Structure 1
Amino acid sequence: MSQVGNAELKSKDARTFAVNFAEVGICPKSGVPIRLCYQTFGEPAAPNGAVLLIMGLALSQQLWDVKFCMRLASCGYYVIRFDNRDIGKSTILVGRKVLPSGTTESSDEGDIWEDSNFLSHSPPEGGADGSKSCMYIQLAHAGIAANGHRKFQEVYSLEDMAKDSVGLLDVLKISRAHIVGMCMGGMIAQIIAIQYPNRVESLSLISTHSSSPLLSSPSLRVMIGVATFAIRCVRKGVAIPLSDSMAEKQGRKPLTSREKDDLAQVLAQFVTSFASGKESAFPIDHKALLRQTRRIVHWSEDFSGFARQYVAMIKAPCRVSQLRGLSVPCVVIHGTDDLLVPYRNGKKLADVIPGSKLVGIEGLGHILHPLSRERIIGALVENMGQSTNALSRSGAVAAKL
């Protein structure tokens, strides 16, 4: 992109990037039509192609912050960020319950969780909120227990979410794209590369894993922290719609601005405790972090999709054998101090994908820290430059010289 183009891009504010929506198909498992919310940066005819950014569990497109997207676009890419189903402004599968195996929709929700014996302790008090708290504890346990994924029924799968992503490319008339995914988004990116290889220019995987049964799980302390965070969110009203439109659909009152700010505080505390990494390497600007979490909370329509996404993630089958057959430029980027998806998983992932490069970032946690931006974007651009089309363009330019 020219210097003039860079200047024009840098002069834009987040508010100038239009909020768009795309109808990407009907979910085969739930029968729900899926509409994705997305934003774009750069020009559709950008010289180096399109980049699709896929975010992780219960996180909206806002986590690919505007500066990150603009910086990537300034390198000559058309950058697309979007909300996965069940988060942000995309379709929320309201009323689709996560159920323990062997139960049905007709079962009483409270009885389901209070009668479950996945953990040997009494469920928290508090009526419906108590049942939801118990559910999140059991979901966290299922994430690390042997065969824990068998304890729940999925509302949809990561394959369905991958199909959503490809559907977005279809709507935008993009035949091939550089696919970038973080955490659960990295798992979705792997599925796209496996099932839709002709749509993938390059593959970039950040803080993710292959769903192997041999993966390194977070520590029990971290999983208890995750469950505690989820329970605090429930008590702050996370299961209540955050917008007037969603509240009207459910016949409930949305959260007040004060309640949303309380929720943002809880999210910021979680990031500081479990996702930030080594403080000496990547110090946290707490005021900036709170501004970011407030943007996330105020952007989202509803957070009740967390459990549905989580079950889809833990029930995803191992992809190791399919990953061994990939023939696409791939980089695996992973922080060495990632507590949620330990660094060993990134090393194992890079080992199974032919020709992939591992970029370990010393001290980084499970977060796109502003101080890591240039390192991450540099690794992405280097990998994208290895795609067949990128090399062809380079060869054509060289031939003219």
Structure 2
Amino acid sequence: MHRDLPPTRFVRANGVELAYDSFGDSAAQPLLLIAGLGTQMIMWDETFCERLAARGYRVIRFDNRDVGRSTWFPQAGEPDLPALMRRSQAGQPIGGASVPYMLADMAADAVGLLDALDITSAHVMGMSMGGAIGQEVALRYPKRTRTLVSIMATSGAPGLPPPRPAALSMLMTPTPVDREGYMQRHLDAMKTLRGGIFPEEEKYDVPRAARAFERGVNPDGYARQLAAIIASGSRKERLALLRTPTLVVHGDRDPLVPIECGMDVAHTVPYARMVTVRGMGHALPRSAWPQVIDAIAEHSVWTEWR
């Protein structure tokens, strides 16, 4: 493990315990990073976080509920995902006992973390499901959100292009709980998400998968998070009323959340800016970091506009 890795800390927030760490000056502008479906905070690479911190941010990453070292919900069991998807596709309401929590609850977790750290407002950046949670934070807690960065995320609106078959198959494949099986699934999933591009990134997959396995594998938690995405539905109508300065970042070769989904967010949120990363799939390769970090830093100036 990297000897300069910041220590993992724990706080109570919104009734759950959240694991988090941070980079940079504690007095700098807070930038909250929200991870995607079933992924731990370590998917925000330490070097990426350090480079953001060098641009003047206090970078905070954390494990969402039901993943990594944050609170799990084993008592909720495994949701019936096929039934949820059928109800969603039929336009039928979902909620109540069908899912243990929604994306709104996960957004409340994120704001609860800010409360615990005595942070009045922060720049909020989420990737994939984390982007959807970030949208919920901005929609529900506008005074707590300085700016929003929505990376490879969708509005959830019906009619948008679906994932490619290989990506959808990967999404719906159960997570193995044995180390060898987990490691292999992670490597296969990352290749699929990158669309077979950026092979130089593969050397980082093994150590990251090993760390994630050591921190805790929770297949039912993955399913519950996916259920929360399905049950939470579309944010499109509410996003049209959003006044938080918003930056959309998306790859033009994303096999899981096609770029049209990012374009929909950018076209829906008033005055949103969009940065398209050429050749990028559903992962942030190191070669894209300079473009993405520059865009994030430039976007922060919108804070003054508010």
TM-score, scaled relative to structure 2: 0.92
Q: Give secondary structure in 1 for the equivalent of 2:26.
A: coil
Query: Could you tell me the percent identity over the aligned residues?
Result: 33
Q: Does 2:288 align with 1:372?
A: yes
Letter in 2 for 1:339: P
1:140 and 1:226 in contact (8 A); partners too: no
Q: Does 2:271 align with 1:360?
A: no
- For 1:362 and 1:140, the matched residues in 2 are separated by 34
Match of 1:22 among 11, 15, 31: 11
What's the CA shift string for 1:226-270, capped at 9, x where partnerless? 33x32xx3xx3x2xxxxxxxxxxxxxxxxxxxx324311221112
1:339 and 1:365 in contact (8 A); partners too: yes
Residues 218-237 of structure 1 mapped to structure 2, 5 A cutoff: 218-227=163-172, 229-230=173-174, 233=175, 236=176
In the superposition, relative to structure 1, how do residues 360 and 144 fare at CA in structure 2: closer, same or farther (>3 Å)? farther
In the superposition, relative to structure 1, how do residues 98 and 304 fare at CA in structure 2: closer, same or farther (>3 Å)? closer
- For 1:63 and 1:139, the matched residues in 2 are separated by 30
What's the CA shift string for 1:78-106, capped at 9, x where partnerless? 01000000000000111212444xxxxxx
Unpaired segments of 5 or more residues in structure 2?
A: none
Match of 1:263 among 161, 164, 182: 182
2:5 and 2:46 in contact (8 A); partners too: no
Report the counterpart of residue 70 of structure 2 in structure 1.
90
Residues 230-249 of structure 1 mapped to structure 2, 5 A cutoff: 230=174, 233=175, 236=176, 238=177
- For 1:321 and 1:145, the matched residues in 2 are separated by 18
Report the counterpart of residue 277 of structure 1 in structure 2.
195
Report the counterpart of residue 250 of structure 1 in structure 2.
none
What's the CA shift string for 1:254-298, capped at 9, x where partnerless? xxxxx32431122111211x201362xx33443322222222222
2:84 and 2:227 in contact (8 A); partners too: no
Letter in 2 for 1:17: P
- For 2:144 and 2:50, the matched residues in 1 are separated by 23
Report the counterpart of residue 211 of structure 2 in structure 1.
295
Match of 1:59 among 14, 17, 39: 39
1:275 and 1:339 in contact (8 A); partners too: yes
Match of 1:45 among 22, 27, 44: 27
2:38 and 2:222 in contact (8 A); partners too: yes
- For 2:163 and 2:54, the matched residues in 1 are separated by 36
Q: Provide the aligned C-alpha RMSD in A.
A: 2.4
Farther off after superposition, 321-330 or 162-171: 321-330
* Runs of 4+ more than 6 Å apart: none
Letter in 2 for 1:36: L
Unpaired segments of 5 or more residues in structure 1?
A: 1-11, 27-33, 101-134, 239-258, 393-401
1:14 and 1:66 in contact (8 A); partners too: no
Alpha-carbon distance, 1:144 to partner:
8.6
- For 2:224 and 2:92, the matched residues in 1 are separated by 15
Alpha-carbon distance, 1:386 to partner:
1.7
Match of 2:50 among 67, 70, 85: 70
Q: Give secondary structure in 2 for the equivalent of 1:205.
A: strand
- For 2:4 and 2:75, the matched residues in 1 are separated by 32
Q: Give secondary structure in 2 for the equivalent of 1:167.
A: helix
Q: Does 2:180 align with 1:206?
A: no
Alpha-carbon distance, 1:139 to partner:
7.1
- For 2:136 and 2:276, the matched residues in 1 are separated by 23
- For 2:65 and 2:112, the matched residues in 1 are separated by 12
Farther off after superposition, 330-339 or 376-385: 376-385
Q: Give secondary structure in 2 for the equivalent of 1:315.
A: helix
Alpha-carbon distance, 1:217 to partner:
1.2
Report the counterpart of residue 191 of structure 1 in structure 2.
136
Q: Does 2:123 align with 1:178?
A: yes
How many pairs does the alignment contain? 305
1:180 and 1:204 in contact (8 A); partners too: yes
Alpha-carbon distance, 1:140 to partner:
9.6
Q: Give secondary structure in 2 for the equivalent of 1:186.
A: helix
Letter in 1 for 2:276: G
1:328 and 1:387 in contact (8 A); partners too: no
Report the counterpart of residue 215 of structure 1 in structure 2.
160
Of structures 1 and 2, the one with the larger relative CO (CA 8 A, separation 6+) is 2
1:60 and 1:300 in contact (8 A); partners too: no
- For 1:222 and 1:301, the matched residues in 2 are separated by 21
